[in-house]
Amino acid sequence: MTSGAFPFEANPNPVETAERAARLVDPGFGRVFTDHMVTIRYSDAKGWYDAKVGPRAPLTLDPATAVLHYAQEIFEGLKAYRLADGTMALFRPEQNARRFQRSAKRLAMPELPEEMFLQACKQLVQVDKDWFPPVDGGSIYLRPFMIASEVFLGVKPSAEYLFMVIASSAGNYFKSGAPAISIWVSEQYTRAARGGTGAAKCGGNYAASLVAQSEAIRQGCDQVVFLDAAEHRWVEELGGMNLFFLFDDGSLITPPADGTILEGITRDSVLTLARAQGLNVREERYAVDQWRADAESGRLVEVFACGTAAVVTPVGTVKSTQGDFTIGAGGAGQITQQIRTKLVDIQRGATPDTHGWVQRID
């Protein structure tokens, strides 16, 4: 099938205006959902078919549906913003479309054409545009995903798939509102090994991270940081964010995206913005022992995490079985804040977009 607007069926029972306003006062992350969703089906025989935007509703799945057993599932996360001039826009959505294709390939799933991915995201935002929260930093978080929908228990790639996009009104990802987050170094669990699925955005990666994330929470931390699977030495990324390290000589490093970490679109944007700002930016391995030594010597001055949900978030404290250490003064670093402001200003149209990153919707 070709692209163009998908058939639309309005939700006959949308959330009432007053109730929607109440839900949008403090939406947090991932709890408030809009009235509609996109669905597109795929089968080996028909290809992509039956694309539509319809009322958001529960799915009915046969208990033998493949995804429920072998986790053949991938997803994306991107935000729609209201710009300073009132129009709506997506930030680098073509990058999400392409990463979704790479994830599909790794999970032996069909690759959704980029234009269908973009049409699905844009049309859903247009239909549900009343769901932008009127709060500082508010956005509509889009969650495109695809599941193996064939009813079959054999272990093989499914012959049928369901692609969907749901939308969620979003405020801040971290509840506490603290100036910086704390992270727990996972020594027992790893997230990804060479040849594995670390670079794919598949649900299985997140399932495998949860026990480590729970440990982080038990230790009083916001997030877990994973080390490499072979040596348990090299810093990789957080459960849902990439990491950057800034040194007192103006160098900024981030672990290389060479197969075991997610190639974050925020990460890529930060690399570009930091280079333009004159920082000496390098994609380079960084050992956890060095991290502690550099924090203690004062050579390491700022650390931040970044991702669609978290934007750019300062890391203040690092905890592990080897003891705790603090980055700088433990709060939000100056360069971190500058990079965050630059990124957010581009995303919201407050500063000119010289990179062609912002795609307007209307």
Quote the least distance from Cβ 181 to ligand PLP, whole Å. Answer: 14
Q: Which is nearer to ligand PLP, 65 or 242 (CB)?
A: 242
Q: Confirm if 67 and 148 have CB atoms less than 8 A apart.
A: yes
Phi then psi for residue 183, to 5 deg, are: -130, 150
- Tell me how far CA of residue 160 lies from CA of 39, 40, 55, 69, in angstroms: 13, 11, 22, 15
The residue from 269, 308, 313, 320 that contacts ligand COI (CB under 6 A) is 308
Detail the DSSP E strand segments found in the chain.
Answer: 32-33, 36-43, 47-55, 73-75, 78-82, 88-91, 139-148, 160-170, 181-186, 223-227, 235-238, 242-247, 251-254, 280-283, 300-307, 311-319, 325-326, 358-360
Residues 234 to 263 in contact with ligand COI, rule: CB under 6 A: 240
What's the length of the chain? 362
Question: Contact at 8 Å (CB) between 304 and 316?
Answer: no
- Report the residue from 33, 34, 77, 274 that binds ligand COI according to the rule CB under 6 A: 77
Among 103, 308, 317, 347, binds ligand PLP (CB under 6 A): 308
Count of residues of this chain found to bind ligand COI when the rule CB under 6 A is applied: 5
Q: Which of 142, 265, 279, 327 binds ligand PLP (CB under 6 A)?
A: 265
Cβ atoms of residues 32 and 141 within 8 Å: no
CA atoms within 13 A on the CB side of 107: 33
Nearest residue (CB) to ligand PLP, 77 versus 333: 77
Examine residue 349 and tell whether it contacts ligand COI (CB under 6 A).
no
Residue whose CB is less far from ligand COI, 308 or 347: 308
Name the one range near ligand PLP by CB under 6 A: 81-89, 129-137, 169-177, 257-265. Answer: 257-265
C-alpha to C-alpha distance for 297 and 217, rounded to whole angstroms:
28
Least Å from the CB of residue 95 to ligand COI: 12
| The one segment of 211-219, 279-287, 302-310, 331-339 that binds ligand COI by CB under 6 A | 302-310
Tokens coding 274:
């930091």
| Nearest by Cα to 37 from 115, 124, 126, 100 | 124
Based on the shown chain and the rule CB under 6 A, indicate whether residue 309 belongs to the binding site for ligand COI: yes
Residue 101, contacted partner among ligand PLP, ligand COI, none, CB below 5-8 A by kind: none
Instruction: Give me the least distance between CB of 76 and ligand COI, in Å please.
Output: 7
Distance separating alpha carbons of residues 24 and 353, to the nearest angstrom: 28
Residue 213 CB, nearest approach to ligand COI (Å): 11
Residue 328 CB, shortest distance to ligand COI, in Å, is 25
Q: What does the binding site for ligand COI look like in residue numbers (CB under 6 A)?
A: 77, 240, 307-309
